[in-house]
């Protein structure tokens, strides 16, 4: 049994669902999941569909070719088709904070995540022992003003060599360059330690403390060239009080950050996220 | 432009979605919403679909007849089809608590609810002035041990006379009889002031206080013959502390109760709830 | 039995709690609640204390005079003392939105709020029937560019005539002038329909929609001269999805707004809020 | 500078706070935190107080003796006094689930927890590699029907040898015996994977699935002889839908379990929990 996931978006028009579901039926697929969304402001149709094919000689490549020719080209669709037997490859970029790293690697080791982590990159050596414990190759690529371009070239080389599908900045603490972003559009996931769009940029817990908010948050989003302004994948919040010091906010925030980032990683790796107009459609 | 909502459930099999969406396409309908769910334990397929029909001579009755003959009977579906121009009629049963009543009537008056309230029934006169303010007919039907059957007959008479679609027990504080329940299966919505299945029955806030829980809840469910055991439509919770007295729990709980009940009313009146196996599928 | 509430803040130093509790003990008071907070960044001590006095001839005025002379002046405290038999007077400012109004008046009528509402002011006549239903005097004071000063003078006249303690802007939709703010410092409560500091100013739900946030919020704060930047009293949030239209966000937000505003009103009227450095200390 | 934490409970009476704060003042202590609670149903007074002492020759033992003689005996208090330089020792009991273990050890390694973990006990060998990675001694003590008493004696021996202060059952999956419970009263913390008192006992996620709840929870509580009925320390919940399979509920629940258990561990190890009448007072 083969299983594929199809993501589609196109200009809204009549009978798209019927056309797609018919196409699947004719190919002897059994639809096990279908969700759709119409953005009425933009007049765009979105769909996510999972289908199973029982015949042994099903070929994802052949299916893709048919899909393109018989359906997608006619309806001017943008589409992606994933075979469930192809597990995505995720690169982890870290710095000195370890809470998201422990959380991700704990989940990874337990088999909770449907992905592989070929390597970890860090601009500091501090967390190498954790990578070692979990037996994940660790590359120390220092980043300074002078070596930034060079460092990034090394990163890109590793990413390409390992055919990385997406990158997770697990509190990486560095602004990534347009070059990297353009190579991995909507494929670099960041965790920002505030409830965006509040407290963009550095030291959001300090700003939250100063403003006296009663709730703090964390936001996972795709990285775009504008800082902390990319499409939001997932957010969560926690209640705080006047009694919280900045240190308390940071500690409470760590739990938010790791859960929010883990959820974003799961949504992305299970191909449940579509991006359009700097926003996400999440089919979960 | 006519708009209809279709709710379907049946044994899961291949190509149901394709069959239904094709049928709609052939009738010149444009699907504007589709969601589906498969209960793999029970092997049941559920679908909710909204479709628009532009032709002036579209008749919901004709459509229903075709749907039954050409599709539903063949696939052994259980189905309901609603025309969006038919607004559901809701009867309110109340007692002495006014918070849910104020909340519902405030929303009703603001046009937030897509339904009509032909009348309010209460076993006490206390809240009649509120009904009067909102200009809703109020029937005082006292319920005592001796008059219970008689009272219920009066209730049923009113319900039938007004073609009531569903009943909301807005803290009615009386156990309704099997006769009423059987006349309105999965059409009587109750609000229970606990996080079910915890604290079934009377005085849940007292039980919550005694148990020392750190979170209280409210649950809206369809009424079945077993007390507080019907299909759950909506739940919500609030954090409390050791400093909350029973009175504080009750006060905090009122806000939960009214929001949860209002949400359940909206989901039901917008035909977003399907019931199967004493559970709900909520397409929202 | 008399009950008083004491709010104190002063520079932090040793033995403040001992000094205050001793003072109460000497006056034969029984402390039934005490909470304190030290802002270590600012080095400020805050305390809220409730005490009961059994003797019949207890006089709040005499107590205040003693407290000032024997304690507060020596420790350079800022303080307020409230007698529990003095119920605060709240003025409601409204415009055309009715959800917060219904919610507040429903609670008021049920006896949930420990305050009186001598009158409602609105710049529009639309909601007068609701005020009439609840039998609260309603003053229609239109506000235009040309009549703004005149309108405010009328508002101030009413506020002073009725000895109003605090003002609630229940979606008033007008920017109040510095003159009004200076007359009621930290006594004007606004409800802003976003999770501040995100989406300051007009149309926050439109901005939330555009940004694609996954959680919306509401914030109740004291009004200061800078728009939506005053001390935050209470916030709450709700989860939303890509499927929410702006209209859906507005509807969902209404439930947040009314609960958050009601909580802020309760905290303020029960004298549980202290303001310092544009932030609040909430003793709840 | 020495810092101590005092926990007191006794029958409520006048002037307790004044008596205690005076006592501290006379000993040249500076109170940096004070919170109190009166359970009016039981007429019990609770207090938590942190005080700093600057003098070099401050002795916690001497202070305790004075406190007992001059204050606690007179007011018939139950009390505990902790010196901040004594870090509590926590034993971890685990079985085959690793998510709570990774979470606790990750926090422990990062310095987030103010405690030491002298060893881990498990009835299975599966998670030994994780303990090894974090360099914590791991004792494999199998438990079968026949060896239960023997196994427990080994556990007790280890606990006593290491002067363990409290025990955490991090999904230990075994019912601990009255003997162990009586040796560590209100010192054994369990994490139960439901929103207690709903779904007591085995397989709560299966029960939650069957009941069709819209929210799942996790509860951390002290272990008493009655199963899952001990004093609740912390609870949290997550929203779920009809689309969640039992496997999905379990996965979602893991995140709840680890956060709730971590919070309970922090509250207990920071001496913020008092137990009375099978309930907790949490001073946080």
Among candidate residues D166, D193, D202, D279, the one with its CA nearest the CA of residue D233: D279
Q: How far is CA D102 from CA C11, D139, D176, in A?
A: 44, 17, 23
Q: Is A38 on the interface with B (CB under 8 A)?
A: yes
CB contact (8 A) between residue C259 and residue B259: yes
Mean pLDDT of the A174-188 span = 95
Residue A70 has pLDDT above 90, yes or no: yes
> In angstroms, rounded to a whole number, what is the distance separating the alpha carbons of residues D220 and D265?
9
Contact map slice: C 104-133 vs A, CB within 8 A? none
CB contact (8 A) between residue D18 and residue C35: no
CB C231 within 8 A of CB A212: yes
Active site residue C228: yes
Chain A and chain B share a number of CB contacts under 8 A equal to 45
> In angstroms, rounded to a whole number, what is the distance separating the alpha carbons of residues A139 and A128?
8
Give C191→chain A minimum CA distance, Å: 14
Residue whose token pair is 């009328």:
C154
Q: What is the DSSP letter of A75?
A: T
CB contact (8 A) between residue D196 and residue B213: yes
Catalytic residue, from C228, C236, C248, C255: name it: C228
Selected residue of C9, C35, C43, C215 to mutate for chain A interface (largest A Cβ count, 10 A)? C215
Please list the active-site residues of D. 228
Residues C27-37: b if buried by 16+ CB within 10 A, e if exposed: bebbbebbbbb
* pLDDT value, residue A57: 85
What percent of chain D is modeled with pLDDT above 70?
100
Q: Which of A22, A32, A38 sits opposite B32 (nearest CB)?
A: A38
Q: Which of C106, C109, C133 sits opposite B103 (nearest CB)?
A: C106
Range(s) within chain D of domains with CATH label 3.40.50.170: 89-282
pLDDT band per the 50, 70, 90 thresholds, residue B117: very high
Distance of CA C154 to the CA centre of its chain: 22
**Which DSSP helix (H) or strand (E) runs through C19?**
helix C16-26
pLDDT band per the 50, 70, 90 thresholds, residue A55: confident
Q: Is B238 on the interface with A (CB under 8 A)?
A: no
Contact map slice: D 1-20 vs C, CB within 8 A? 14-15, 17-18
Q: What pTM was estimated for this model as a whole?
A: 0.96
Residue B170 has pLDDT above 90, yes or no: yes
> Scanning every residue of chain C, which has its alpha carbon at the shortest distance from the alpha carbon of A212?
C279
Question: Any idea which of A193-202, A271-280, B150-159, C49-58 has the lowest mean pLDDT?
Answer: C49-58
CATH entry, D89-282, from 3.40.720.10, 3.20.20.60, 3.40.50.170, 1.10.10.10: 3.40.50.170
Q: Which of B39, B237, B280 sits opposite D237 (nearest CB)?
A: B237
pLDDT band per the 50, 70, 90 thresholds, residue C284: confident
Q: Which of D17, D30, D35 sits opposite C21 (nearest CB)?
A: D17
Measured between beta carbons, the chain D residues lying within 8 angstroms of C15 are: 21, 25, 30-31
Among candidate residues D211, B157, D33, the one with its CA nearest the CA of residue C17: D33
> In angstroms, rounded to a whole number, what is the distance separating the alpha carbons of residues B188 and B180?
9
- Mean pLDDT taken over chain D: 96
Range(s) within chain C of domains with CATH label 3.30.70.260: 2-83
Q: Is D87 on the interface with C (CB under 8 A)?
A: no
* pLDDT value, residue C115: 98
Reported as a single tens digit per residue, the pLDDT across B43-102 is 999 999 999 998 778 999 999 999 999 999 999 999 999 999 899 999 999 999 999 999
Q: Is D44 on the interface with C (CB under 8 A)?
A: no
Selected residue of A15, A40, A46, A52 to mutate for chain B interface (largest B Cβ count, 10 A)? A15
CB A36 within 8 A of CB B21: no
Question: Radius of gyration (Cα) for chain B, nearest Å?
Answer: 21
DSSP calls for B20-50: HHHHHHHTTEEEEEEEEEEETTTTEEEEEEE
> Scanning every residue of chain B, which has its alpha carbon at the shortest distance from the alpha carbon of C256?
B259
CB contact (8 A) between residue D40 and residue B196: no
CB contact (8 A) between residue D98 and residue A112: no
Mean pLDDT of the A108-115 span = 94
CB contact (8 A) between residue C232 and residue A214: yes
Measured between beta carbons, the chain A residues lying within 8 angstroms of B32 are: 38
CB B224 within 8 A of CB B230: yes
Q: Is A102 on the interface with D (CB under 8 A)?
A: yes
Residue B231 has pLDDT above 90, yes or no: yes
CB contact (8 A) between residue D213 and residue B231: no
Among candidate residues B220, B118, B100, B199, the one with its CA nearest the CA of residue B162: B118
Tell me the pairing of strands D188-192 and D166-169.
parallel
Q: Please give the backbone phi and psi of residue C72, each rounded to the nearest 5 degrees, phi first.
A: -65, -45
pLDDT band per the 50, 70, 90 thresholds, residue C56: confident
DSSP calls for C222-281: E--SSTT-SPEEEEEEEE--TT--HHHHHHHHHHHHHHHHHHHHHHHHTT-EEEETTEEE
Tell me the pairing of strands D188-192 and D215-222.
antiparallel
Q: Is B236 on the interface with D (CB under 8 A)?
A: yes
Q: Which of B211, B243, B281 sits opposite D242 (nearest CB)?
A: B281
Residues 6+ apart with CB under 8 A from A29: A4, A51, A52, A53
Measured between beta carbons, the chain D residues lying within 8 angstroms of B249 are: none
Question: Radius of gyration (Cα) for chain A, nearest Å?
Answer: 21
> In angstroms, rounded to a whole number, what is the distance separating the alpha carbons of residues A255 and D143?
34
Measured between beta carbons, the chain B residues lying within 8 angstroms of A36 are: 33-34
* pLDDT value, residue A46: 97
DSSP calls for A135-192: T--EEE----TTTHHHHHHHHHHHHHHTT--EEEESS--SPPPHHHHHHSTT-EEEEE
Range(s) within chain B of domains with CATH label 3.40.50.170: 90-282
Structure tokens at D230: 């001990």
> In angstroms, rounded to a whole number, what is the distance separating the alpha carbons of residues A46 and A16?
10
3-class state of residue A102 by DSSP: helix
CB C57 within 8 A of CB C66: no
E strands in D20-113 = 29-39, 44-53, 78-83, 89-94
Selected residue of A112, A114, A133 to mutate for chain D interface (largest D Cβ count, 10 A)? A133
The CATH architecture annotation of domain B2-83 reads 2-Layer Sandwich (3.30)
List, for chain D, all residue ranges whose pLDDT scores fall below the cut of 50. none
3-class state of residue D142 by DSSP: coil
* pLDDT value, residue B54: 86
Does domain B90-282 sit in CATH 3.40.50.170? yes
**CA distance between the termini of chain B:** 23
Catalytic residue, from A35, A73, A228, A248: name it: A228
Reported as a single tens digit per residue, the pLDDT across C217-275 is 999 999 999 999 999 999 999 999 999 999 999 999 999 999 999 999 999 999 999 99
> Scanning every residue of chain D, which has its alpha carbon at the shortest distance from the alpha carbon of B243?
D37
Residues 6+ apart with CB under 8 A from D35: C35, D47, D48, D49, D283
Q: Is B278 on the interface with D (CB under 8 A)?
A: yes
Q: How far is CA C201 from CA A103, C186, C245, in A?
A: 38, 20, 20
pLDDT band per the 50, 70, 90 thresholds, residue B176: very high
* pLDDT value, residue D56: 79
CB C188 within 8 A of CB C223: yes
> In angstroms, rounded to a whole number, what is the distance separating the alpha carbons of residues C241 and A281?
8
Reported as a single tens digit per residue, the pLDDT across A227-267 is 999 999 999 999 999 999 999 999 999 999 999 999 999 99
CB A206 within 8 A of CB A231: no
* pLDDT value, residue D55: 77
Give A250→chain C minimum CA distance, Å: 16
pLDDT band per the 50, 70, 90 thresholds, residue A118: very high
* pLDDT value, residue C133: 92
């Amino acid at each position: 049994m083969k299983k594929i996931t199809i993501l589609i978006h196109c200009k809204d028009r009549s009978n798209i669902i019927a056309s797609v579901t018919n196409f699947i039926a004719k190919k002897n697929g059994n639809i096990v999941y279908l969700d759709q969304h119409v953005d009425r402001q933009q007049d765009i149709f979105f769909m996510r569909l999972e289908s199973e094919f029982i015949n042994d000689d099903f070929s994802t490549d052949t299916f893709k070719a048919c899909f393109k020719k018989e359906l997608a080209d006619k309806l001017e669709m943008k589409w992606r088709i994933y075979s469930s037997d192809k597990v995505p490859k995720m690169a982890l970029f870290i710095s000195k904070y370890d809470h998201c790293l422990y959380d991700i690697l704990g989940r990874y080791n337990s088999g909770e995540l449907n992905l592989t982590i070929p390597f970890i990159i860090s601009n500091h050596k501090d967390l190498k022992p954790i990578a070692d414990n979990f037996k994940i190759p660790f590359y120390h690529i220092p980043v300074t003003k002078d070596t930034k371009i060079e460092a990034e070239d090394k990163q890109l080389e590793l990413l390409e060599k390992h055919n990385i599908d997406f990158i997770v900045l697990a509190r990486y603490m560095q602004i990534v360059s347009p070059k990297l972003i353009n190579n991995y559009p909507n494929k670099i996931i960041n965790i920002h330690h505030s409830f965006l769009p509040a407290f963009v940029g550095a030291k959001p817990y300090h700003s939250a403390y100063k403003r006296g908010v009663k709730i703090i948050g964390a936001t996972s989003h795709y990285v775009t060239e504008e800082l902390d302004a990319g499409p939001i994948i997932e957010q969560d919040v926690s209640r705080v009080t006047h009694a919280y010091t900045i240190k308390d906010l940071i500690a409470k925030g760590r739990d938010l950050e790791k859960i929010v980032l883990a959820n974003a990683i799961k949504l992305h790796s299970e191909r449940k996220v579509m991006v359009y107009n700097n926003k996400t459609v999440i089919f979960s």
